[in-house]
Amino acid sequence: MSQTETASEPVQVSNKYDSTQIKNAVDDELSRYFSEDQKFTQSHTHTDIKLLLGYVSCFIAGGSFLYEYKTSFNDALTVTTVCVVIYWIIQAISFAYGYFVEKDELFIGTKKVDGKATSTLKISGKIDKYSPIYKLCLNYTDISAGKTVSHNIEPNVATWFDTKGVLVKQTMDSELNSYLSTLVQKLHQE
């Protein structure tokens, strides 16, 4: 390792049987693996839209507060009421976007060769509350061939963590690599 590189900190969860902790850790590592190791450029559209909605909510709350600060509570009551209603409408839009558009998508990435997009990968996943089985759906599209293949997998993600709750990246990366290889082979068989 060169002097400019730093070793990444190990990913650790306090309880490797807590599906919420496991899901959050694995989601981040899925993004890392496909972005850094497999060289997919990750799309941040869902995050950007949710951030935009959140910032708009904050500006509305800040504007309401500033207006009330400059006037009195009674004078600002109508404006504050309108701002509260708008805030909840924005929150409902954010919820609807997450539920109907984003769904369970964990990763969307595009692989480029010589600046030209050659393939896309979309990963969706769901984990049950008390289960270490992560139901993943990988969709791989070869843009030049116009073909898309899907592969559903159900890895036991608790096996990706050692007894202390530290993620064993080599184990996870190896399994993810085999899943991606299977997907690409499946594409070329069709």
Rg over alpha carbons for the chain, rounded to the nearest Å, is 22
**Do the beta carbons of residue 189 and residue 41 sit within 8 Å?**
no
- Cα–chain center distance at 85: 29
pLDDT digits (tens, 9 = 90+) for 72-116: 999 999 999 999 999 999 999 999 999 999 999 999 999 999 989
What is d(CA 23, CA 134) in angstroms, rounded to the nearest whole number?
Answer: 8
Phi, psi of 141 (to 5 degrees): -120, 125
Which residue in 27, 18, 32, 28 sits closest to 165, CA to CA?
18
Its pTM stands at 0.85
